[in-house]
Structure 1
């Protein structure tokens, strides 16, 4: 007994005759009859009573009909589920996004575009700083991420430059720097700064300080904020000023003004998209394709 024979059997019952069933399942009537005889032989009993008025189900046939319908329906559900998983139509994708970039339009567009294209995939988005993201990409806790990447890319990761950004000066909105911004970064040495810890994003932190030191600037740090959201809140409270990525304007609380400075604008602080190459999930591949379609460039990231 196989599913094909069960399908033929159910067709005969529902169509009322072998000839009608043969047309429905697209098989010649003699071949259909042979399949039903084989099914009866496997079960050890007749399924139909054949008389002058046509065919009718035996007790065995009635019992098999109910079971066969359930088996065929279950098979269809299983096949549909497995096919959907294999095509990435269902499943789960866990994605990390740096706190500063959750509201960046390009990332919002990618997330909403993927949701529209694959509504049955569970898309889990985690606000994570670049340091924790790197660890979770390594151990497989997340499948992909938007983060700051260094020049040396681990073997288990693939990356693409996703979004270009640079640095800006963040000050309280009532700061005199709003009306009289400095020409050079080193002129900020006398101000109190709100800064972030290196552990939150080592790549960003090291690159930021290396560039600022080249400009003869060494921040006088009086307050530490765990992330850029906290840093901007402390700036808004008047506890100092800070240098942050330009995309922080999307997460800024009221009371902060952003000042563009030529020297800060020359420091590339672009965000990369990265994914673990050991993860072969079809749903993840569909997410990767969605992201790459929206990338500004397809070249490997070097930031």
Structure 2
């Protein structure tokens, strides 16, 4: 059945007059009358009968009007649903993140803003190692992944940097350097390092090793840990020292201290990874929110030093 004819039928039924309905629809009266006659032939019933002032619904017409309005409403809703889905305003977004990424404040802000901006999109979070997340992304089981890429690039994966942060040294509370506010990395030469295995987090692993090598020494490999929370706990148990993103210092384990690194170049980046050849509107929307969050964070970082200088002046 032609939905256009149903729309014409509803207009005539609501106006009770073919001429007024034609004016409302913006078409001529003869074509409208012809469409109603065609509809009646298709249904093999009369839907109107003439009155002194126009037309009125037959019993068949009354029954049709109820269903016609429902069908037209459903058709309109179907269009709106398709348009919203095309704009990335509905559906489900599968987001992966590493344990270290989850600690960064920009990630919490990003997720909060996205959910508020796109309440029709269900957000599913999956935590895993970098290697696990990249595999899930390539398999299509994730739409995006928050990870620390280091200097790596990946075939078929697009990376969008959203934040960078300094690294900190994590030391046992009884360590000789534990009371220092700031130390050079060279002070850790000869120390045993607790590290995440490279096969689990190649980027963060390499960033730590490269920072030490840039400082002029090779870190001594010690106990390995599957994730950063385990790294902190093993340092607490005095298995060695380590280097972690600054946001990980939110883990307040007993028996550890976090110390700033004197070399300001010891930083780690946080990025969103997506499949390069497959981008949905939902992914584009999330990236747009992430870009706005990055700009806001950069602006705030520029304001903070100026405020500290003003505070000292007073």
> TM-score with structure 1 length normalisation?
0.85
Give the aligned length.
Answer: 296
Aligned equivalent of 1:272: 271
Aligned equivalent of 2:260: 260
Distance in 1 of aligned mates of 2:191 and 2:160:
37
What are structure 2's unaligned runs of at least 5 residues?
Answer: 297-314
CA distance 1:256–1:22, shift in 2 (3 Å) = farther
Distance in 2 of aligned mates of 1:60 and 1:161:
63
For residues 119-138 of structure 1, the aligned pairs below 5 Å read 119-138=119-138
Deviation, 1:3, is 0.9
Aligned equivalent of 2:72: 72
> TM-score with structure 2 length normalisation?
0.83
Aligned equivalent of 2:304: none
For residues 170-249 of structure 1, the aligned pairs below 5 Å read 170-180=170-180, 183-249=183-249
CA distance 1:18–1:243, shift in 2 (3 Å) = same
SS in 1 for 2:268: coil
Return 112-121 or 162-171, whichever deviates more: 162-171
Deviation, 1:107, is 1.7
1:85-129 residue CA offsets vs partner (Å, 9 max, x unmatched): 111111221122221121322222221111111110111222222
SS in 1 for 2:277: coil
Deviation, 1:212, is 1.4
Distance in 2 of aligned mates of 1:223 and 1:150:
22
Distance in 1 of aligned mates of 2:295 and 2:47:
65
Return 50-59 or 77-86, whichever deviates more: 50-59
Return 208-217 or 126-135, whichever deviates more: 208-217
Aligned equivalent of 1:288: 287
Aligned equivalent of 1:105: 105
- Give the number of the structure with larger relative contact order, counting CA–CA contacts within 8 Å between residues 6 or more apart: 1
For residues 155-170 of structure 1, the aligned pairs below 5 Å read 155-170=155-170
Return 122-131 or 52-61, whichever deviates more: 52-61
What are structure 1's unaligned runs of at least 5 residues?
Answer: 298-303
SS in 1 for 2:267: coil
Distance in 1 of aligned mates of 2:95 and 2:274:
9
Distance in 1 of aligned mates of 2:256 and 2:31:
80
**CA root-mean-square deviation:** 2.7
Aligned equivalent of 1:300: none
